[in-house]
Structure 1
Amino acid sequence: MDDQNKNLLLATVLSGVVLLVWFVLFPPEQPVEDPNAPAAVEQTAQTPAIADSDLPTADSAAATATAANVSSTADAPRITVKTDRISGSISLLGGRVDDLQLLDYHETADEGSPDVQILSRVSSPNAYYALFGWTPVEGVDAANVPGPDTLWSAPANAVLTQSSPVTLTWDNGAGQIFRREMAIDDDFMFTITQSVENTSANAISLRPYGIIRRHGEPETRKFFILHEGLVRMSDGTLQELNYKDLTKLPVDDREGTQAERQEVATDGWIGFTDHYWQTILVPDAGTAFRSTAKYFEGRDIYQAEAVQPAITVASGETASAGTRLFSGAKEWATLKHYEEDEGVKGFVDSIDWGWFFFLTKPIFWMLHNLHALIGNMGWSIIALTIVIKAIVFPLAYKSYSSMAKMRELQPEMEKLKEAAGDDRMKMQQGMMELYKKNKVNPASGCLPMLIQIPIFFSLYKVIFVTMELRHAAWFGWIQDLSAPDPSSILNLFGLLPFAAPGPESFLAIISLGILPILLGISMWLQQRLNPAPTDPAQAMIFAWMPWVFMFMLGNFASGLVLYWITNNTITFIQQYLIMRSHGYKPDVFGNIKKSIKRKKAA
């Protein structure tokens, strides 16, 4: 095999390895199933027990009651929930918050797509709901405290709105009257105030609790850059456990359930987070509580609990405890409002900012404010790129100046090579003296790339995880900047009468849209600012790289590809002008011609 074929094989193998590693780390977007789609078989199992030493041992509110089955749960009376942003209902059986839709968000970007269903009933596939109640400590038994299957009473035709809270009532017939006031604000936060009036002759002691329960593991992206699963804050410490982590929790000897408990002294919250949505229990600020992550292996149930300290209620007195429930979209501005104005400490960190949080947070802040000013997320990404390039321009100027000086030294370097012959040590020493004499730092050319890498990953994180880019349009065919470019070269960008292959198709990797192609061209033009390396193998690898990256980024979010195109364009202009200012005129068209001739000769 001659040297040229060896170099070609080497370049091909290296490109293949780069592609393979890239797609392992950054797999293409997967289609998201509609959670509202009907299931072939509905759930028929009984509602499982809570089973905690601090909680009722069964879902039944009374010791003699039978656990509610799917039919009775479905038939229980309900209270309508209706606000400007949420619709749904609450079951009077247990006072379950188990039916919520988000009116501002749809399952897909298609017109007429159904609203996002965030919480769902026990009778639905992958049931997901919140429960509240009391567990007895002293002076009252499990039969006389409300639990998940207590049938509450409510005012006739009650509707829960922003301006009209609803109070549920249950009299246990043994001297205690339990009430549960449920209120909701203008966004996604419920306030649940549980109270007990003790009309008996003796004092009682009991603990208030809140539970969020998921039946089965939900559909997740299974992408290392995104956390989906349990998330909690405990006195300033954030913890994230994915669903696999929850199945590996240690077994609690007290109840035989896999669980992990943390005692929270003053401030915290616990719940489940999805890609764009989350449901979180938030005990009142300053309240101590036990934060518990739990998994029921036999029934495949994931559970988050917030159990508050015991409350003693003397005869003739009333006591209450409050817990808030957030169930909605992870909007940065909304979470920030709850954190800064309503005392939910660290709530913005329920968004998965990642390892580069010190970059992702300011980058998102800048993008958010640019969007507020411009009103279009696509143009805001372009403006953000310009701002970032302006910030790192001093380093870029130093780098490109150094590169221009090195080109000026090229004739002297060639003389050194001839003089040194095969003596590499002599060659290296001569080059270092030459660099030192002319105050050139050959490593400075790497600075923009080294800075660009964390910025790239941070922006990728921002575009992938933040709510604000979901279904955000730019113009024309780009109607969702969080999704890949929907156009395809395979149908000539819509000119041919058939649809482009979806992301699940094996043809997706070659189904390049307009933006990925423009990305490849922008990288190729940027390379043409410099003459091709004299070494054939290096020249071959450099020639492949723009097109390798074009395919690698082809199925990435359009917003990220748009950023990369803008970045390449600005870099090209900066490098060209800086080189011209140092007396070096890049022969772009000449390099293109040489590249074409070299390929023909090969």
Structure 2
Amino acid sequence: MDDQNKNLILASVLSFVVILVWFLLFPPEEPQQLTPEQAAAEGNLLPPAADAPVAQAATTAEPAPQPAQTAARIDIDTPRLAGSISTMGGRIDTLSLKDYRQTLAEDSDTVQVLKPQSADYAYFALYGWAPGGDLGFEDVPGANTIWTVESGASLTTSTPVILRWDNDKGLTFRRTISVDENFMLSVTQSVRNNSAAGARLAPYGRIERHGEPDDLKGFFIIHEGAIRQTGEELTELNYKKLRKLDNDARWGANADVEEVAGNGWIGFTDHYWMTTLIPQNDQPFTSVMKYNSAQDIYLTEARMPTVDLAAGASAEVTTRLFAGAKEWETIKSYEAEDGIYNFVNSIDWGWFSFLTKPIFRLLHMLNGMIGNMGWAIIALTLIIKAVLFPLAYKSYVSMAKMKELQPEMEKIKERTGDDRQKLQQEMMQLYKKEKVNPASGCLPILLQIPIFFSLYKVIFVTIELRHAEWIGWIKDLSSPDPSSILNLFGLLPFATPGPESIFAIVSLGVLPILLGISMYLQQKLNPAPTDPTQKMIFAWMPWVFMFMLGSFASGLVVYWIANNTITFIQQYTIMRSQGYKPDVLGNITSGLKRSSKEDK
């Protein structure tokens, strides 16, 4: 392989390395701590935040709850959800996932998706009506309204809850909340005008997040923050971008507002969890993303069109609320059966979605057949290698011929000395004479890069690999190998250093060590670069990758070990079929001897 093609491979591999370590060298910026300011009064038909300060002189400000009022709670109990609804505002503000725990420990707490306003990192959903015309916020239910339970002692899959509130001016409001067997709640808001005059008002749904989530990953490879579908367009704003929406602490100032004709939804997405407001498919609404620096609140809203309610008339609107785990099958079923447009793209498939989606579907199918995600990853690797085999075959045949030409290439290099032009000319003549194409080995390497990134995306993003067990000590394929050379892989009675320790990089587990060995053996079958600098870089690369990938997800390292092993077997077999008999052990021994002589 000539220097030009070696440079191509070297540039590709080094670019690959740069991207892999980017998030380590350039961690996400810490959120700016802003001085709280008094929030200004907002315009008509803009619902205030749950804890917005009350402006006594402003008719648009919602009154604060009276101290004597008591907010009761209604339990939520389904096969997959546990939590409660507060009668203050009818907030859905406490919700845990029964199927998911924080850690692998048996006594670990379940994952809590929603938290009440009194808790740290409060995160909840609420609904209400914004007043118009002659109505004020005291005339419509909002974030601080105390509702009465009309029916339903608890919310289950078979028993909905109905809340009621009368404004003592002829308007009666009801809210019916139901839930399915997974993570979808349905909230129907209705109002009846029993007065003699007409009324003008607008329903809304809102998700409030107080501060950034405490488990924010902040990796460039995954989106965490606000997400919405507006017809055909999917929009994502992370928390840094959301903070830029606020420049004077007013609700609505510089908000990201979109009018949606239908097929829309909006909410917040985390690494594995999501909370999303989903109006009916044909429901037009105003989609809003906001941030309030005065209280450090991130907010997404679905504002429905204003209703002109005649005397004696009624109106209602239904909005769904997804609050749970981003399980592919569950989300896909909501998209297919309930018609939630593009809902499966709430999972962050990334730029290579044309690869990540089919790779995940195949991996998911293999896991269903095998019953073990680790073996499914290895099976996936076999399938990928089989698909790329025609290209790999040509590459390995070319490498076998290049290996045979290695002694002749060394003679040319000695004969031409520092005359690089003459070196290139004689090399090209040799390739032409022996009918060897040195560039044929580059394409399989280049194709592996997007496949690797797509698989890394799948392993890192999808919840199906979270806490997925493989064999022995590998209990979570989405986490790094927990074994460590520092405690002799568990033989010594002390824990390994955590990721924050300076010793974490040398705390190599079994899988990273196997990766380094497999890369080293596979590399020994390839022609050595003629350039000394390139030769040194390639020689160090297996060990650099061994340390780099030691902190990566075990599932990704399993894939790479399997890929290297299969590549080695394929290449070794094809080389022997071409009459070249690679002596891998001899190559290693001679390589060690040469290194020893060069050191002397």
Residue 431 of structure 1 and its aligned partner are, at CA, apart by 3.4
Instruction: Report the 3-state secondary structure (helix = DSSP H, G, I; strand = E; otherwise coil) of the residue aligned with 2:497.
Output: coil
Among residues 116, 124, 131, which one is paired with 1:136 in the alignment?
A: 131
Residue 537 of structure 1 and its aligned partner are, at CA, apart by 3.8
1:174–1:53 CA distance, 2 compared to 1 (3 A): closer
Of residues 252-261 and 329-338 in structure 1, the stretch that sits farther from structure 2 once superposed is 252-261
Separation of aligned partners in 2, 1:346 and 1:50: 37
1:498–1:212 CA distance, 2 compared to 1 (3 A): same
Separation of aligned partners in 1, 2:174 and 2:252: 32
Of residues 561-570 and 431-440 in structure 1, the stretch that sits farther from structure 2 once superposed is 431-440
Count of aligned residue pairs for this structure pair: 572
Instruction: Report the 3-state secondary structure (helix = DSSP H, G, I; strand = E; otherwise coil) of the residue aligned with 1:299.
Output: coil
1:72–1:281 CA distance, 2 compared to 1 (3 A): farther
> How big is the alpha-carbon RMSD for the aligned residues of Structure 1 and Structure 2?
2.9
| Cα distance per residue 1:93-115 (max 9 Å; x no partner) | 10000000000000111111000
Among residues 23, 26, 48, which one is paired with 1:25 in the alignment?
A: 23
Any conservation in 2 of the 1:29–1:484 contact (CA below 8 Å)?
A: no
Any conservation in 1 of the 2:207–2:267 contact (CA below 8 Å)?
A: yes
In structure 1, the partner of 2:318 is 322
Any conservation in 2 of the 1:214–1:302 contact (CA below 8 Å)?
A: yes
In structure 2, the partner of 1:185 is 180
Amino acid at match of 1:54: L
In structure 2, the partner of 1:56 is 47
Amino acid at match of 2:462: T
In structure 2, the partner of 1:87 is 82
Residue 545 of structure 1 and its aligned partner are, at CA, apart by 1.3
Residue 201 of structure 1 and its aligned partner are, at CA, apart by 1.6
Is residue 270 of structure 2 the alignment partner of residue 279 of structure 1? no
Gaps of 5+ in 1: 1-14, 31-44
Among residues 67, 73, 76, which one is paired with 2:64 in the alignment?
A: 67
Separation of aligned partners in 2, 1:180 and 1:472: 40
Any conservation in 2 of the 1:46–1:67 contact (CA below 8 Å)?
A: no
Residue 330 of structure 1 and its aligned partner are, at CA, apart by 0.5
Residue 428 of structure 1 and its aligned partner are, at CA, apart by 2.7
Of residues 214-223 and 549-558 in structure 1, the stretch that sits farther from structure 2 once superposed is 214-223
1:27–1:193 CA distance, 2 compared to 1 (3 A): farther
1:444–1:564 CA distance, 2 compared to 1 (3 A): same
Among residues 275, 284, 294, which one is paired with 1:298 in the alignment?
A: 294
1:447–1:316 CA distance, 2 compared to 1 (3 A): same
| Cα distance per residue 1:136-189 (max 9 Å; x no partner) | 223533221111111111146611011111111111111111110101011111
In structure 2, the partner of 1:208 is 203
Is residue 360 of structure 2 the alignment partner of residue 369 of structure 1? no
Gaps of 5+ in 2: 1-12, 29-35
Instruction: Report the 3-state secondary structure (helix = DSSP H, G, I; strand = E; otherwise coil) of the residue aligned with 2:503.
Output: helix
Separation of aligned partners in 1, 2:580 and 2:386: 23
Is residue 356 of structure 2 the alignment partner of residue 351 of structure 1? no
Among residues 148, 154, 157, which one is paired with 1:162 in the alignment?
A: 157
Among residues 115, 122, 142, which one is paired with 1:127 in the alignment?
A: 122
- Of all paired residues, the percent bearing the same amino acid is 60
Among residues 97, 102, 107, which one is paired with 1:107 in the alignment?
A: 102
| Cα distance per residue 1:463-506 (max 9 Å; x no partner) | 00111000111011000000000000000011111111111211
Amino acid at match of 1:67: A
Separation of aligned partners in 1, 2:374 and 2:358: 18
Amino acid at match of 1:25: F
| Cα distance per residue 1:58-91 (max 9 Å; x no partner) | 759997985138x889x51011100000000000
| Cα distance per residue 1:419-457 (max 9 Å; x no partner) | 766554344344334434544321111111101111111
- TM-score, normalised relative to structure 2: 0.89
Separation of aligned partners in 2, 1:485 and 1:421: 48
Of residues 260-269 and 541-550 in structure 1, the stretch that sits farther from structure 2 once superposed is 541-550
Amino acid at match of 1:363: I
Residue 267 of structure 1 and its aligned partner are, at CA, apart by 1.3
Separation of aligned partners in 1, 2:332 and 2:320: 16
Is residue 582 of structure 2 the alignment partner of residue 586 of structure 1? yes
Amino acid at match of 2:554: S
Residue 316 of structure 1 and its aligned partner are, at CA, apart by 1.6
| Cα distance per residue 1:507-557 (max 9 Å; x no partner) | 110000010111011111112224654554444322211111100000110
Separation of aligned partners in 2, 1:362 and 1:498: 42
Is residue 140 of structure 2 the alignment partner of residue 149 of structure 1? no
Which structure 2 residues correspond to residues 479-518 of structure 1 after superposition, within 5 A? 479-518=475-514
Separation of aligned partners in 2, 1:300 and 1:598: 63
Separation of aligned partners in 2, 1:379 and 1:528: 27
| Cα distance per residue 1:307-343 (max 9 Å; x no partner) | 0111222222211111111100011111111111101
Amino acid at match of 2:154: V
Separation of aligned partners in 1, 2:338 and 2:128: 24
Separation of aligned partners in 2, 1:141 and 1:418: 91
Separation of aligned partners in 2, 1:334 and 1:260: 29
Any conservation in 1 of the 2:152–2:159 contact (CA below 8 Å)?
A: no
Residue 22 of structure 1 and its aligned partner are, at CA, apart by 4.4
Any conservation in 1 of the 2:152–2:162 contact (CA below 8 Å)?
A: no
- TM-score, normalised relative to structure 1: 0.89
Instruction: Report the 3-state secondary structure (helix = DSSP H, G, I; strand = E; otherwise coil) of the residue aligned with 1:498.
Output: coil
Separation of aligned partners in 1, 2:39 and 2:123: 13
Residue 51 of structure 1 and its aligned partner are, at CA, apart by 4.5
Of residues 523-532 and 302-311 in structure 1, the stretch that sits farther from structure 2 once superposed is 523-532
In structure 1, the partner of 2:515 is 519
Residue 202 of structure 1 and its aligned partner are, at CA, apart by 2.2
Separation of aligned partners in 1, 2:285 and 2:526: 63
In structure 1, the partner of 2:443 is 447
Separation of aligned partners in 1, 2:473 and 2:349: 29
Separation of aligned partners in 1, 2:561 and 2:419: 43
Residue 25 of structure 1 and its aligned partner are, at CA, apart by 3.0
Separation of aligned partners in 2, 1:525 and 1:410: 18
Any conservation in 2 of the 1:47–1:68 contact (CA below 8 Å)?
A: no
